[in-house]
Amino acid sequence: MAPWSVQWLRSWVNSGLAFLYPEVCQLCHQARATPAQSFVCPGCRARVRFIEPPFCARCGLPYEGAITNEFECTNCREAELHFSSARSAIVARSEALDIIHRYKYQRALWFEPLLAELLVHQAKAELSAGKWDCIVPVPLHAAKHREREFNQAQRLANRLGLAIGIPVAKNVLVRTRPTQTQTRLTRAEREANVRNAFAMRRSARLNGDRIVLVDDVFTTGATTSAAARVLRSAGATDVCVWTLARGV
């Protein structure tokens, strides 16, 4: 599609959204916010907190204070994690958590460009500096996919891959059984909940690939670690994790 056609289509879509939804921030419901801004005003956007050092070298858990040396948090020292590192773009709290929940559970897809922008902003430099073969989104179980009608991890992975030039391999992992929502589970319950929940697709082959595993939210790492274990067992030499948000 020619560049002018893309611009025309984007303008047409934004005009349609503006007709259906008033140009007001969908968080504070006071300031003006356009479809191009994902209906989030600059004031609310400014309250989203990016994750910056210091943070755990393994799972990316942010810490306050002037820590200058590399360290691992207590959770990582005690847990058996199958990824080499995990990083997240933003802290999952207040405005950011509201956006993510409405995007996932209420199909508020107009938030997606903003969420993808936040992920790319933090991940692009680090991933571009490495030699990663592909991006693998954490899959949903088929029943959950039918219910939700989209996989947020896959959509974010597609936008991240496009921004940094890494292919997205959506048909590598499959979720073999439905699992409970992890939100209210303890660490031990989370690990049990996702144990043996993932498998390789029969047609998928990994020959020493270095993989970026992408999900929307990281809390204890149980889900991404379970998925990484399957990838490593199938022949991946390294698996790092990138998520949009980090529970703290």
The CATH code of the domain that includes 176 is 3.40.50.2020
Q: What pLDDT was estimated at residue 19?
A: 58
Q: How confident is the model at residue 91 (pLDDT cuts 50, 70, 90)?
A: very high
CA distance 88 to 243: 5
CA distance 179 to 183: 12
Tokens 């319950």 identify what position? 189
Could you tell me if residue 34 is inside a domain?
no
Average predicted confidence (pLDDT) for the chain: 89
Could you tell me if residue 41 is inside a domain?
no
CA distance 71 to 52: 14
Residue 147's CB is within 10 A of a number of other CB atoms, namely 10
Q: How confident is the model at residue 233 (pLDDT cuts 50, 70, 90)?
A: very high
Asked whether residue 141 carries a pLDDT value surpassing 80, the answer given is yes
Could you tell me if residue 121 is inside a domain?
yes
Could you tell me if residue 29 is inside a domain?
no
User: For 29-70, what is each residue's pLDDT tens digit?
Assistant: 999 999 999 999 999 999 999 999 999 999 999 998 778 788
Length of the chain equals: 248
Could you tell me if residue 31 is inside a domain?
no
Q: Output the CA torsion 225→230→235→239 (10° steps).
A: -20
Asked whether residue 168 carries a pLDDT value surpassing 90, the answer given is yes
Asked whether residue 16 carries a pLDDT value surpassing 70, the answer given is no
Q: What pLDDT was estimated at residue 13?
A: 58
> What is the count of structural domains for the chain?
1
Could you tell me if residue 216 is inside a domain?
yes
131: containing domain: 49-182+193-246
Q: What is the pTM of this model?
A: 0.87
Q: How confident is the model at residue 79 (pLDDT cuts 50, 70, 90)?
A: confident
Q: What pLDDT was estimated at residue 118?
A: 97
